[in-house]
Structure 1
Amino acid sequence: MSRRSPILTLLLALSAIALVVILVSHPQMSFEAALRGLKIWWEVVFPSTLPFIVLSEILMGVGVVHFAGVLLEPLMRPLFNVPGTGGFVLTMGFASGYPVAAKLTTRLREQGSVTQAEGERLVSFTTTGDPLFVIGAVAIGFFHSEQVGVVLAFSHYVSAVLIGLLYRFYSPYAPMSRALEKNQLPLPLRALQAMHRARLRDRRPFGRLMGEAVQSALHTLLMIGGFIIVFSVLIQLFSAINLTRFLSSLLAVLLGPIGLPPALSNGIIAGLFEVTLGAQAASEVPPSVPLIWQAVIASAVISWGGLSVHAQVASILSQTDLRVAPYLLARAIHAILSAVLTYLAWEPLTASSWFKGSSIPVFLPSTSGIPVMDWWDTLLHSGLLAAVILAALALLSLLVRLANRHQIH
């Protein structure tokens, strides 16, 4: 059915009318669901995402993204078939969670730093949950287990890297971004040179740069908040008309033959729409369900991201020619890969003592029912994590560069 089909238009119109009727017939429930979505946005998403979007815009304005582009080119191009600037997106995306990577990829596409195919590859594997959400809110807050946090983080980020390696073969004959100019300067000096030139080209005073960064971040976060509230209401309305119960019952019948406990169907259905509710539902099953199966479903839900996140990413990508279909396919593959890795890594990681004695952040209670960190701790841990990821990528890139030069000689 094409976009221009009158049948599709009729179906969309009837669906919208049905939602309006359900909304009007359940005003109190809709209000409470909207309020719950607003609290999630205000207490969880806003304080954890705003600083990263503002900082990312400032870093792009002063040329740091070009510094990272030159420095990480020897690593990102052969591994993921994206320019070195993709390393900056990978760092911020992994450290701050969805949908920051989509926002940064869109900015790079607008600047012409990545081609259409490279942007679609990049956003497909860098859109992940942040570690504080995966380990803290889900593992510690919902499952009350550090072991689960280790397994979820391992499966989530390893499978994301595998998606990147797989997607390097996506659109192999598409145009590539211009290769870096070669000269005799060492790689770090070339990176500093590129950063200085980028800052001179930008020409914006720091005050204007910071003001525009805050405006862009607030605009993006208002859009994200709107989607969170809308999907919170939709999920509650679907529950009111027993649609989620029907889907859960139908899914429970399908789970039995493949060995999954039918009680996990609620988590799968909830996670289809919203990642936090899906992970929470996976943890609130009868004690008879083994913890490994709960972790498998939670891992798949986190990697899928939920239709709420997909709508946010689609809205951000719509500002450019980047298509959302490759991103959605990557999310489905990511969910399957992370679930399989969780099952395979469960026994080795939970039996090991690597995480014992480590400092796991303490999360605080929230009126939305979702554990959150103190905002200062959130910024501190996320900022340190971004610095560590960027430093590790830079070190690997330098090692690859040195190895290539040694082979040439």
Structure 2
Amino acid sequence: MIRTLLLACLSILLVATIIYRPDDAFQASLQGLTIWWNIVFPGLLPFLTLLELMLAFGAVHAFGALLDPLMRRLFRLPGEAGLALAFGWSGGFPSGAETAAALRRSGTLTRSEGQRLLAMAHMPNPLFMLLVVGSGFLKRPELGAAIAVAVWASAITVGFLHSRLSAGTITGHEASPPASGSSHYRIAGSSLRKAAHAMAEAKQKDGRTFGKALGDSVIASVYKLMAVGGYMMIGAVLVRLLEPLMPGALPGFILPGLIESHIGAYSAAVAKFDGGMTWNAAATAAVLSWGGISALLQAGTVMAGTDLSTRSLAVIRLLQAAVAFTFTLLLWQPLSSLMTRIIPASVPALLPIGAANSPNPTVIHAVELHSLWPYAPFMLAAFISALAILTLTSSGASSLFKR
């Protein structure tokens, strides 16, 4: 009752503020819409559609059989969890959460496993970190790569520790419930034979034709993307309306970073710190690891119908943000030097749309973000590469532990 009344009061306050300051609200909503269309929509649509098709034709369970040795030993999760990591780390918010929720609905994961997987898979878009943050906000592509490594390392570290300290998993005996396609773990023979059996079993149970599955996947994906866009627009409006109320003693990136990660990452990247670029990078990594209230609401939307908790996700994301901030501060010099060697100096910085003609090109406005539409094929290639690397690593781990 108290929660409902609080949400109702906040909703009334938001509407009243928008009526009182309509111009600011309109400009902020356009900012959120631009971010959604240029970054989120091209990054999510292929992955959400692909997930539905892979579920319909049993590919999720097939990869689960191949990835099971690696995921069990590292994170004490079933093999299908590796697919959620590949989706989340390639497509960004909330494709990883959508995959984790789908696995929980199918009974592949226990509630505890689903909660741990959700925290690791619900990650920011890699091209946003590499191209927009690195090349656009900081004008140095290698710094975007270093920030991405810090964000990913914090998720892996917290996920690994969480799997060892969670109740029921300390001794490593938490068992996943039986699920469709789960019998492939008991089939004798090679991993490929197990994967083929799991795929055939899951496809037979689903029963949809390709046309039916494709239609369902497109409808579901667009619906979820519309909900994501709505949350991002509301987040941008809240940031704009609440900025005048923030105490001057607090850093300017705190409010946008708390509410919306894309705007928060921009604010952290261009903020003035006494410690220089290292602190900008650490603050940006923390904002991206946290994801913002908008990302939590996006996860809550795709988690509907499951027993996964948004509140527990928020606690873990705060911990990940603290770890990412610490990692970046401690390892910034060697990490940035390594990325400078890996990424050629000839790689041009991508300026946001309109920044080149701006009277002050050093100021990059979040509303002028560079579009990721041309890079959609690269994101799919990154997803395929991530799956291939995970599969090969899992195969090597399985062979190693059989000796």
- Between the aligned partners of 2:346 and 2:113, the Cα distance in structure 1 is 37
- Between the aligned partners of 1:390 and 1:401, the Cα distance in structure 2 is 16
> 2:390 matched to 1:393?
yes
> 2:270 matched to 1:275?
no
Gaps of 5+ in 1: 252-264
What SS does structure 2 have at the residue aligned with 1:266?
Answer: coil
Query: What is the CA RMSD across the aligned residues, in angstroms?
Result: 2.1
Instruction: Look up the equivalent residue of 2:352 and give its one-letter code.
Output: P
Identity of aligned residues (%): 31
Q: Which residue of 1 aligns with 2:352?
A: 365
- Between the aligned partners of 2:14 and 2:101, the Cα distance in structure 1 is 32
Q: Which residue of 1 aligns with 2:132?
A: 137
Q: Which residue of 2 aligns with 1:230?
A: 234
Work out which of the residue numbers 306, 317, 324 in structure 1 matches 2:310.
324
| 1:274/1:306 contact within 8 Å kept | yes
- How far apart are residue 318 of structure 1 and its match? 3.0
Work out which of the residue numbers 376, 379, 382 in structure 1 matches 2:376.
379
- How far apart are residue 185 of structure 1 and its match? 0.8
Q: Which residue of 1 aligns with 2:288?
A: 302
For residues 193-232 of structure 1, the aligned pairs below 5 Å read: 193-232=197-236
Q: Would the alpha carbon gap of residues 229 and 344 (structure 1) be closer, same or farther in structure 2, given more than 3 Å must change?
A: same
Structure 1 residues 223-256: Cα deviation after superposition (integer angstroms, max 9, x where no partner):
10110111111111112xx213x2xx243xxxxx
For residues 155-166 of structure 1, the aligned pairs below 5 Å read: 155-166=150-161
Q: Which residue of 2 aligns with 1:188?
A: 192
Instruction: Look up the equivalent residue of 1:182 and give its one-letter code.
Output: R
Q: Which residue of 2 aligns with 1:115?
A: 110
| 1:235/1:273 contact within 8 Å kept | yes
Q: Would the alpha carbon gap of residues 170 and 24 (structure 1) be closer, same or farther in structure 2, given more than 3 Å must change?
A: same
Work out which of the residue numbers 155, 164, 167 in structure 1 matches 2:162.
167
What SS does structure 2 have at the residue aligned with 1:354?
Answer: helix
- How far apart are residue 203 of structure 1 and its match? 1.2
> 2:20 matched to 1:25?
yes
| 1:150/1:355 contact within 8 Å kept | no
- How far apart are residue 285 of structure 1 and its match? 2.8
Q: Would the alpha carbon gap of residues 362 and 200 (structure 1) be closer, same or farther in structure 2, given more than 3 Å must change?
A: farther
* Matched residues, number: 381
- How far apart are residue 147 of structure 1 and its match? 2.9
Structure 1 residues 237-288: Cα deviation after superposition (integer angstroms, max 9, x where no partner):
112xx213x2xx243xxxxxxxxxxxxx111222111111111112223486
- Between the aligned partners of 1:292 and 1:315, the Cα distance in structure 2 is 35
- How far apart are residue 362 of structure 1 and its match? 6.5
Structure 1 residues 176-198: Cα deviation after superposition (integer angstroms, max 9, x where no partner):
32375434311122112211221
Structure 1 residues 293-343: Cα deviation after superposition (integer angstroms, max 9, x where no partner):
111101100111011111111222232111122211110111011111111
Q: Which residue of 1 aligns with 2:361?
A: none
> 2:54 matched to 1:89?
no
Q: Which residue of 2 aligns with 1:66?
A: 61
- How far apart are residue 204 of structure 1 and its match? 0.6
- How far apart are residue 50 of structure 1 and its match? 0.7
Instruction: Look up the equivalent residue of 1:176 and give its one-letter code.
Output: S
Work out which of the residue numbers 325, 332, 337 in structure 2 matches 1:346.
332
Give the structure-2-normalised TM-score. 0.89
Structure 1 residues 43-96: Cα deviation after superposition (integer angstroms, max 9, x where no partner):
221122111110111112111101111111111112112110001101111111
> 2:270 matched to 1:284?
yes
